[in-house]
Amino acid sequence: MTLTARRAFAPLWAKLTIALGMVLTLAAGSALAAGQVLLHRATSTIVQANLTGGAAKTVAQGADFDNLVGPVDLLLMGVDARERWAEDALHADTIIILHIPASHDRAYLISIPRDTEVTVPAFPRNGYPGGTVKATEAFFWGAQHGGGWTGGAQLLAATLKNMTGISFDGAAIINFGGFKSVIDRLGGVHLCVDQQVVSHHMVYVGGRPMYLAEARRTGRPMKPVVHRVGCRDMAGWKALDYARQRYGLKNGDYDRQRHQQQLVKAMAKKAARTGLLSNPVKIAGLLQAAGRSLVVDTGYVSIADYALSLKKVAANDMVLLRTNDGTFAGNANGREGVTAKSALMYAAVKQDRLDRFILSNPDVVATEK
């Protein structure tokens, strides 16, 4: 792969868009070529770039550039890229490793705590000398001095490879605004709030939700957005806002990680339950909604190979996994660290022995409240 951004077929944002890409290719018994034409139209606004850099999985590590065989490991990153912020001022607010075992019949989501202390390697592309920072900041330093989103992703991928030993088959970055558009295209999602929390990002002004900073500029009275305990359908802005909260939650960022995983799973369930996955026109609209804020890296594997090789993933639930027993794990520096159990979990991902690890450590599976 080159460092130059390229437009290409883009089948994934977590399990949801893998499933959509697969169905687009095969829906309604269409010929494969016809499916590719439709997919090309639907993803014309999606940019594909080299997001994994030196952390890309090699042939020696099991990569197959002709066929998608063996386990698949994807790095998923969420950023909050509003128009007033430059692209080199962003942090990776959400960091998820998506692991699909060689059986290709299920998927595991592992969130990396954003405040984990990491050793970031030097990045010659923009002159960053390396250092010890939070995981969320690795993206920031890679984006500096012209690195942009691709530089941020590459440096974060290299950092995580050093920390976990995991190399990546592909990656995706999505702006939270784009995520909202996808949820709205789905007609909202059903989420269960397990702890009441007041939003630190959004307020109501005249009954309309607004970002706090924007609301302050209006000079009008503001009413807090409160996410109350209970299960309900949520519009895109509200579901995303809930999944982004960490202040005021019992386990802080760990509860937020679980809520973000639940949101991705809720999106996949909604798409399947409503029959969207059998409607190529609706799928095209969904991918176009995502495409305005999505950058992906599918390596050398084509959309057809992803679709055919991962078709069983779409029919199975995702498994949500906890790092650090779901609570703060201080290291020798008093910062967020990695427990011995989590280090073993990362090793199990690398070796594609995660199923065996979970059998011995069932408490790593996150409960869905």
Is residue 120 domain-resident? Answer: yes
| pLDDT tens profile 225-258 | 999 999 999 999 999 899 889 889 988 888 887 8
What percent of the chain lies above the pLDDT cut of 90? 38
Residues 6+ away with beta carbon under 8 Å from 107: 14, 15, 98, 99, 100, 313, 316, 318, 319
Token digits of residue 30:
């269409």
In the chain, DSSP assigns E strands to 6-7, 47-48, 72-79, 94-100, 107-111, 117-120, 131-134, 170-175, 189-193, 197-205, 208-211, 223-227, 230-234, 294-297, 318-321
* pLDDT number for residue 16: 44
Give residues with Cβ within 8 angstroms of 334, minimum separation 6.
none
Report the chain's C-alpha Rg in angstroms: 20
- Check residue 187 and give left, alpha or beta (phi > 0: left; psi -120 to 50: alpha): left
Task: Return the H-helix or E-strand segment holding 81.
Answer: none
Does the structure show a pLDDT above 80 at 304? no
- Flag whether 192 is in a domain: no
pLDDT of residue 3: 35
Q: Is residue 203 part of a domain?
A: no
> Is 196 inside a domain boundary?
no
Q: Which domain holds residue 329?
A: 6-186+275-364
Query: Crossing angle, helix 280-291 and helix 176-185, to 10 degrees?
Result: 160
In a domain, 11, yes or no: yes
Q: Evaluate if residue 17 carries a pLDDT over 50.
A: no
How far apart are alpha carbons 369 and 196 in whole angstroms?
A: 13
CA–CA distance, 255 with 181 (Å, rounded to integer): 24
Does any domain span residue 205? no
Q: 165 by DSSP, 3-state: which?
A: coil
Total structural domains within the chain? 1
What is the pLDDT averaged over residues 315-320? 66
CATH number of the domain where residue 22 is located: 3.30.420.590
Handedness of CA 252, 257, 263, 269 (dihedral sign): negative
pLDDT digits (tens, 9 = 90+) for 188-226: 999 999 999 999 999 999 999 999 989 999 999 999 999
Q: Is the pLDDT of residue 361 over 80?
A: yes
User: What is the per-residue pLDDT for 30?
Assistant: 37
Q: How confident is the model at residue 310 (pLDDT cuts 50, 70, 90)?
A: low
Band of pLDDT at residue 279, cut at 50, 70 and 90: low
Is residue 270 situated within a structural domain? no
Contact between residue 157 and residue 172 where contact means Cβ atoms under 8 Å apart: no
Residue 113 within any structural domain of the chain: yes
Per-residue model confidence (pLDDT) at position 228: 97
Assigned token pair, 299: 């390596």
